[in-house]
Amino acid sequence: MEKIEKELCPFCNNKTLTLIEDQIDIPYFGKCYLFSMSCSSCNYNKSDVEAEERKEPTRYTFEVKTKKDLSVRVIKSSEATIKVPELKMSVTPGPASEGYISNVEGVLERFKKIIESERDIAEDDETRIKAKNLLKKLWKVMLGEVSVKIIIEDPSGNSAIISKDAKVEKLKIK
pLDDT tens column, 82-96: 999 998 888 887 666
CB 17, CB 39: distance < 8 Å: yes
Whether 1-52 and 54-174 share one fold: the answer is no
In this predicted structure, which of 44-48, 91-95, 153-157 has the lowest mean pLDDT?
91-95
Give domain 54-174's CATH superfamily: ZPR1, A/B domain (2.60.120.1040)
pLDDT over 80 at 54, yes or no: no
Model confidence, pTM: 0.76
Q: pLDDT class for 151, splitting at 50, 70, 90?
A: very high
Specify the pLDDT at position 60. 97
Q: Is the dihedral of CA 85, 89, 93, 99 positive or negative?
A: negative
What's the rounded mean pLDDT across residues 3-20? 96
Specify the pLDDT at position 57. 94
* Domain chopping of the chain, boundaries: 1-52, 54-174
C-alpha distance from residue 125 to each of 88, 135, 137 (Å): 19, 15, 18
C-alpha distance from residue 96 to each of 63, 70, 89, 104 (Å): 27, 25, 17, 21
106-149 pLDDT, tens digit per residue, is 999 999 999 999 999 999 999 999 999 999 999 999 999 999 99
Q: Which CATH number fits domain 1-52: 3.40.50.2300, 2.60.40.3880, 3.50.50.60, 2.20.25.420?
A: 2.20.25.420
What's the rounded mean pLDDT across residues 149-166? 93
Specify the pLDDT at position 28. 60
What's the rounded mean pLDDT across residues 8-27? 92
Q: What percent of the chain has pLDDT over 70?
A: 96
**Which three-class secondary structure state does DSSP give residue 72?**
coil
Angle (CA) 123 116 160, round 5°: 135
